[in-house]
Amino acid sequence: MPGLPQLPFERTDALALSPEFGELRADHPITRVRTETGDEAWLVTGYEEIRQIFADERFGRSHPTPETAPRLSHSALLGGPTGDYATETEVHTGMRRLLAPAFSARRMQALSGKVRQIVDGLLDEMAEEGPPADLHERLSVPLPIQVICELLGVPFEDRARFRATAQEMTDLSDPERSAAALREMNEYSYAIVKRKRENPGEDVYSDLATAQLPEPDVARIAGGLLFAGHETTVNQIDYGTLLLLRNPEQRDALIRDPSLAGAAVEEIMRVAAPSEHGIIRYVREEAEVAGVRFAPGDLLMLSIASANRDDRAFADAERFDISREAASPHVGFGYAIRYCLGASLARVELRAVFGSLFQRFPTLSLAVPYEDLKPRADRLTGGFNELPVTW
């Protein structure tokens, strides 16, 4: 009898998913696999199946016995359970209620002008220095860091510190290093939140300082906001640029009509997959999805990248098309009660980038062969260390 499919699958192309995802999605959108830690899990690759799980409170991020829970990876970040099993639902609801105003349409609209100014300034600097340039270090990294510092109320002069810590948090090769970095990020962030109690400002950490939540949860939420608020956007800028460079007809359409930037961002969020590491869910009580029964404590890995390429939801799903009129919204930001609070912020940043980048540099191209670009396989979030470009 053949063994279970072994995660992670081998990936040979930065922009393509491992073929196993498509094969499993077609025949078994929910299937048993073995994780890199040797544990068994359910791999969910289908669009509707993942939406159903996102919307169901019987699936969560915590586990009643976290020390013995099955894990997806050795990383302290998103490799296993987080939060308190007894209070997860209450804390999650309270956090969303508290933070939702910070990411409101009104607040994001007010922030959008500032974001465009930052983008213009970074592109000005890139133009002044001339080609070649590392787009990763000149644009993809500094933009989200400046924006998240402004929004959260984090000192900008600390950027090198928390950026380095964020990188260590995603280390898949050294569990102790990853765990130490996660603690450091939470402690650093929580120290800022505590200072906001005495000197509040117009920022998210000041809002968080008023939270009626246990201190460990506040620290975890603060650290998570700082990490996710910049790391994921860094990768989306890199991958969005690469997708447009590798699909010149789409790039040219965007140059001709910059109003397509919003649609381009949605297609980038659908197709870009900096990492194949999925989202973890644990079964809180017995449940059934698509005819598959789950037992309490079971581990699920939700492959968002695979769901966003499901032909049952997207016509010609493997094609990158910024003029796509999708009948189904992508799940790059989650869904329902698990929809990302920061989605509006990411959209503001990405629209500013892709509304300007190719207008300023219409001849932008890779400065190295595409095949030389190697995603970081040792990092949970994947992505690149550099993206050399010229014009």
Per-residue pLDDT tens over the stretch 257-267: 999 999 999 99
- Reported as a single tens digit per residue, the pLDDT across 179-224 is 999 999 999 999 999 999 999 999 999 999 998 888 999 999 999 9
Does residue 158 lie in a domain region?
yes
The conformation of residue 327, written as its DSSP 8-state character, comes to: S
Does residue 6 lie in a domain region?
no
Does residue 150 lie in a domain region?
yes
Total domains, the chain: 1
Q: What are phi and psi of 84, to 5 degrees?
A: -95, 125
Print the domain residue range for 33.
19-385
Does residue 110 lie in a domain region?
yes
Sign of the CA dihedral with 380 first, then 381, 382, and 388 last? negative
CATH number of the domain at 281, please: 1.10.630.10
Does residue 132 lie in a domain region?
yes
Does residue 2 lie in a domain region?
no
Q: Quick one: tokens of 203?
A: 């920022």
Does residue 391 lie in a domain region?
no
> Roughly how many angstroms between the first and final C-alpha of the chain, as a whole number?
55
Does residue 14 lie in a domain region?
no
Helix (H) or strand (E) holding 113: helix 105-129
Q: Quick one: tokens of 302?
A: 């939700």
Which residues neighbour 323 within 8 Å (Cβ) at sequence distance 6 or greater?
Answer: 253, 260, 263
- Could you read off the pLDDT tens digit of each residue along the chain, which spans 391 residues? 469 999 999 999 999 999 999 999 999 999 999 999 999 999 999 999 999 999 999 999 999 999 999 999 989 989 999 999 999 999 999 999 999 998 988 889 889 999 999 999 999 999 999 999 999 999 999 999 999 999 999 999 999 999 999 999 999 989 999 999 999 999 999 999 999 999 999 999 999 999 888 899 999 999 999 999 999 999 999 999 999 999 999 999 999 999 999 999 999 999 999 999 999 999 999 999 999 999 999 999 999 999 999 999 999 999 999 999 877 999 999 999 999 999 999 999 999 999 999 999 999 999 999 999 989 989 999 999 999 999 9
CA dist 56 and 86 (Å) reads: 17
Q: What totals of helices (H) and strands (E) does the chain contain, helices first?
A: 15, 10
Q: Quick one: tokens of 233?
A: 């956007």
